[in-house]
Amino acid sequence: MPPFHDCDFRDGRVLVMEPAAALFGGVGSRKRARVTAVRPCAFASAAAEAEEEGVKASAAKKQKRREAVSSLDELPDECLFEILRRVQGPRARCASAAVSRRWLATLGGIRASEIKRALPLPDLNEVFVSEDEDEVRFGCSERSLEGHEATDVGLTAAAVADALHCHLKSLVIRGSHPIRGVTDSGLSAAARGCPSLTSLALWHVPQVTDTGLAEIASSCPSLARLDITGCSLITDKGLAAIAQGCPDLKSLTIEACPGVANEGLKAISRCCTKLQAVNIKNCARVGDQGVSSLVCAATASLAKVRLQGLGITDTSLAVIGYYGKAIIDLTLARLPAVGERGFWVMANALGLQKLRCMSVSSCPGVTDLALASIAKFCPSLKQFNLKKCSQVSDGCLKDFAESAKVLESLQIEECNKVTLMGILAFLLNCSPKFKALLLVKCNGIKDICSAPAQLPLCKSLRSLTIKDCPGFTDASLAVVGMICPQLENIDLSGLGAVTDNGLLPLIKSSESGLVHVDLNGCENLTDATVSALVKAHGSSLARLGLEGCSKITDASLFAISEGCTDLAELDLSNCMVSDYGVAVLASARQLKLRVLSLSGCLKVTQKSVPFLGSMSASLEGLNLQFNFIGNHNVASLEKQLWWCDILA
């Protein structure tokens, strides 16, 4: 039998014989070799088993070595707490917080006062960063978490970064992550890490309860402003904790919190006597006792009061009238249980001597008698807003004007019993300080058949707004032009019945020069109005709104480019201007437009792109929505006007 020499496994572990044996061996020898040789698969199996045993042995050794080395994860919470509270610097604390959720939670549970402050040894291998630069980079006086970013992890991380230097003064949480939203745990971490917090706003954070608010109260004694909106789990217990822990509270806003009632407001009134602003809105369980206690306790400091959607009665308004000696801003809205008597007593109590601004909306108790009393016994009243008060009519406007000696602004909205005759009577008797009149959605403002015998001349009026009054047409506008010669600001938005014939006399009668003119929605105005406006007031005009004026064409842009020198804002949305008009506008080098809107201008196409790209460097905002410029051309414009905010 030919011998085997240098037997090995090659070519797929096949047993190979010496070449001589392969060439000269007979049949018998091949048979003997087949009998005595070991099968190749047996060698392969044995080698594989040996290799597998070696791998297992190696893995076992590595496991033993890992078990022999101690891990920080095996440390109890107390030891990890002691280690992490010695970590210095915002950079290192943030890096530690990113290791695991356990480390983040532990760092979030460390109060700012518990941090072990020591001088760290310098790291010679690290790029030097000064302490001031580190503070600027990580220190932030305001922090806002919104929507999906509002989670416990995000809030805890913010608290960990701020805990060392306590820079954070204002924290706003708007909304919450639908699954991992902000809870008491995150709010507690913020309280422990940010003891210098002075302002906290929780808007629609449904998982926060009294426990989180109590942690804020115990850790943030300097809290001065608290805004709770749409937090259904916060009750009087949480407000009581705030009252005990934050005696310097100056501003309180509670909106749409069904768990808050009178007892919580009473606790605030007992401890927080420095309140300056109170805003209670849409809280069904808040009544006279809660509101009265707040007003009485802070009679010397309470300057701003807003009550809306509450079940209070005349009693609360009487208390405001007697004890609101420091109130300068008062808003009363949707108070169905307050009657005429409540407003009358509030005014006659003679406590609102400092009241300067008052707004009343959707209060059925506001009548002509109530308004006359307010004007008579509130001698400092400068601004009065009236909305959706159906009992108010022309009868009180004359008396109101005569009594309000320092009134500067009057807004009447959706009061349909007020007519143009009442407005004329008011202007005839208003004080020399009266500057602004706003009439919005007043269906009673209609053309009068004949002008009164004595037309008022209101030279002090500077701003006139008549919006969405469908009965106001050219005849009424001509009367306004005769009685208001010193107008500077005009807003006639939504007056679709007004034409050139009505507006031209008003333009010509203005003596001081129009500055702001809004004609949005005046669809019957033409280029003649714009040309006359530019010719008479081009040197003073700063803002011109022509949105929806479908008869405005390139002729108006030509007039603007020729006659306007100080125009900063121009709204041409949904007008019939074209590429030619844009080219004319862009070529006017004296124009320094800051805002230009061409939204909905269907005749503006990609041909305008070169002209828009050459606009003045003063352009800050450009609206190109709903036209035929195209996304590719908008991208090109964004490169050319890189400093400009382009909306497309």
Task: Give the pLDDT band of residue 147 (cuts 50, 70, 90).
Answer: confident
Name the one residue in this structure whose structure tokens are 């006639």: 492
Residue 406 backbone phi and psi in degrees, to 5: -120, 15
Sign of CA dihedral 59, 65, 69, 74: positive
- At 228, which helix (H) or strand (E)? strand 225-229
Sign of CA dihedral 637, 642, 647, 648: positive
27 pLDDT exceeds 50?
Answer: no
CA atoms within 13 A on the CB side of 148: 0
Higher pLDDT, 252 or 455: 252
The three-class DSSP label of residue 625 is coil
- At 305, which helix (H) or strand (E)? strand 304-308
Cα 476 from Cα 451, distance rounded (Å)? 9
Would you state the pLDDT for residue 90? 64
Enumerate the β-bridge partners of residue 466: 439
518 pLDDT exceeds 70?
Answer: yes
Cα 566 from Cα 243, distance rounded (Å)? 53
495 pLDDT exceeds 80?
Answer: yes
Enumerate the β-bridge partners of residue 490: 464, 517
Tell me the per-residue pLDDT of 50-66, one tens digit each, with 9 for 90 and over: 667 776 777 776 666 65
Q: What angle, 0 to 180 degrees and rounded to 10, lies between the N-to-C axes of helices 314-323 and 288-297?
A: 0
CA atoms within 13 A on the CB side of 127: 3
CA atoms within 13 A on the CB side of 536: 21
Instruction: Pinpoint the alpha helices (H) of 69-122.
Output: 77-84, 90-97, 101-108
Mean predicted lDDT score pLDDT of the chain: 84
Q: Find out whether 415 and 442 touch, Cβ atoms under 8 Å.
A: yes
Mean pLDDT of 72-97: 66
Cα 524 from Cα 572, distance rounded (Å)? 15
86 pLDDT exceeds 50?
Answer: yes
Cα 549 from Cα 11, distance rounded (Å)? 88
Higher pLDDT, 433 or 101: 433
Tell me the per-residue pLDDT of 575-631, one tens digit each, with 9 for 90 and over: 999 999 999 999 998 899 999 999 999 999 999 999 999 998 899 999 999 988 988
Higher pLDDT, 448 or 181: 181
281-303 burial, b at 16+ Cβ within 10 Å, e below that, comes to bbbebbbbbbbbbbbebbbeebb
Cα 300 from Cα 276, distance rounded (Å)? 9
Given the DSSP bridges, would you call strands 14-15 and 9-10 parallel, antiparallel or unpaired? antiparallel
Cβ neighbours around 116 below 10 Å, total: 12
Q: Write out the DSSP string of 157-187.
A: HHHHHHTTT----EEEEES--TTTB--HHHH
Task: Give the pLDDT band of residue 36 (cuts 50, 70, 90).
Answer: very low
Given the DSSP bridges, would you call strands 595-597 and 621-623 parallel, antiparallel or unpaired? parallel
End-to-end Cα distance, the chain: 92
How far is Cα of residue 245 from the mean position of the Cα atoms in its chain?
29
Would you state the pLDDT for residue 189? 85
Cα 381 from Cα 356, distance rounded (Å)? 4
Cα 446 from Cα 473, distance rounded (Å)? 8
Q: What predicted TM-score, i.e. pTM, was given to this entire model?
A: 0.79
Residue 150's nearest CA partner among 111, 169, 178, 170 is 178
Cα 34 from Cα 402, distance rounded (Å)? 129
Tell me the per-residue pLDDT of 371-397, one tens digit each, with 9 for 90 and over: 999 999 999 999 999 999 999 999 899
- At 618, which helix (H) or strand (E)? none
- Segment of 18-27, 477-486, 531-540 carrying the highest mean pLDDT: 531-540
Least confident of 5-19, 290-304, 539-553: 5-19
Task: Give the pLDDT band of residue 208 (cuts 50, 70, 90).
Answer: very high
How far is Cα of residue 270 from the mean position of the Cα atoms in its chain?
33
Cα 433 from Cα 580, distance rounded (Å)? 46
Q: Find out whether 434 and 407 touch, Cβ atoms under 8 Å.
A: yes
Cα 458 from Cα 570, distance rounded (Å)? 29
Q: What HEC string does 516-563 produce? A: EEECCCCCCCCHHHHHHHHHHHCCCCCEEECCCCCCCCHHHHHHHHHH
Cβ neighbours around 330 below 10 Å, total: 24
Mean pLDDT of 121-138: 46
Residue 621's nearest CA partner among 605, 640, 643 is 643
User: What token pair was written down for 212?
Assistant: 């989180």
How far is Cα of residue 485 from the mean position of the Cα atoms in its chain?
39
310 pLDDT exceeds 90?
Answer: yes
